[in-house]
Structure 1
């Protein structure tokens, strides 16, 4: 029996939303089946297991994030710009692709020792490597202070990965507010010359427009 792409997408969308709202362990295939008016067997037919759905969620979300940054890299050359792009990509994804972003962040260690999740870990490592490279480039070019680049990258990603815990797009802070604050503190701690920090922390800066355009291309978002 051929698989229906429409039904498969519908199942995965519901799974992503459930994981974002409840977490992976409390997401039940039976609940998804009931909501969509199908049997659990239909879901198994499309995905096999719940862990396969998590793997697909993670791979899709992380690959999209990498695509956005690699596209932005074609238009942004300075390490300051690229660090700003990393930060704003993470904060804006909380609005543009909210469920997938929250689901991925809250389950960052879920099934981490499962061999089938090796590709997911590889994608996370690639995102980390992009950050390490740009901090190192900034140090080598005399723009950033001489810091432990790997530890600095871990600090940044650790902060960005915990956004789901406290950031509510419907709350008083916009993703632009959050991004600007992250840029001010993190980039401000790296720069040798802080005179232009306010430019990089400005949500109306050109680099933020580039990030928005790259996100729109990757996600189909219109705002």
Structure 2
């Protein structure tokens, strides 16, 4: 019976931490790091400050968890959705659509992480985020190179093409409105057609 109670408590704790991270990401993205206090986070979660401090030492720990976790989880989320046995072009499309899906699902964490990427004074965290960012960027370059090697794309500057893809995807947060227009994965799919199939009529 004690073990069952312990399992419930662990589940409740995990859900509470997820709630804190989600609400914090929204507040950081909306008000900025300096404009968000531990009191703001506690009130948004409907919990006491003492319970908030039970889970996190301070605001910096919450912010670091969001910023680093978002960068790492983006890579894993996209990588896990690349179809096995598909052509390089199909896998590249899946890369872009999965990025759009991640952005739509975890928009507040994306926004908070984007604002934090270059401003975190902690060098160790900065290096770790850069490592995951480089893996993500390396993945799109690998897919483009594989498409060239397979004869699906003409020879082109792979790093430049990779930056074009990532710039289109990363810029969405500046104008995307969840309640207007196409869903983010559909936008990413449209970007794929525009970038790799061109704008000219057949």
- The alignment's TM-score, normalised by the length of structure 1, stands at 0.71
Matched, 1:140 2:141: no
Q: CA deviation at 1:151?
A: 1.9
Q: Post-superposition shift, 1:78?
A: 1.6
Deviations 1:162-207 (A, max 9, x none): 2111011211233354123201222225xxxx97xxxxxxxxxxxx
1: CA distance, partners of 2:56 / 2:184: 34
Relative to structure 1, is the Cα distance of residues 72 and 5 closer, same or farther in structure 2, using a 3 angstrom cutoff?
A: closer
Alignment length, in residue pairs? 189
What is the aligned-residue RMSD (CA, Å)?
A: 2.8
Gap regions ≥5 residues in structure 2: 1-9
1:125 and 2:168 are equivalent in the alignment? no
- Rg larger in 1 or in 2? 2
- Could you tell me which of 40, 44, 47 is aligned with 1:37? 47
Residue aligning to 1:57: 66
Question: For 1:120-167, what per-residue CA distance to the aligned partner results, in whole angstroms no more than 9, with x for missing partners?
Answer: 221111100101111111222222122221122122112211211101
Q: Which has the higher contact order (CA 8 A, sep 6+)?
A: 1
Q: Is the CA contact 1:105–1:164 (under 8 Å) kept in the aligned structure 2?
A: no
Whether contact under 8 Å (2:68, 2:113) holds in the other structure is no
The question of 1:91 aligning with 2:100 is answered yes
Post-superposition Cα deviations, 1:71-100, rounded to whole Å, max 9, x if no partner, equal 233525322112111211122223323322
Equivalent residue number for residue 4 of structure 2: none
The verdict on how the C-alpha distance between 1:34 and 1:71 changes in structure 2, with shifts beyond 3 A counting, is closer
For residue 168 of structure 1, the aligned residue among 174, 177, 180 is 177
Structure 1 residues 143 and 6, CA, compared in 2 at 3 Å: closer, same or farther?
A: closer
- Aligned with 1:20 (options 25, 29, 33): 29
Residues 102 and 164 in structure 1, CA contact (< 8 A), matched pair in contact too: yes
The answer (yes or no) to whether the contact 1:23–1:107 under 8 Å persists in 2 is no
1:105 to 95, 110, 114: 114
Structure 1: 5+ residue runs without aligned partners?
196-223
Contact 2:137 / 2:162 at 8 angstroms: preserved in 1? yes
Residues of 1 paired with 2:168 and 2:121: CA distance? 20
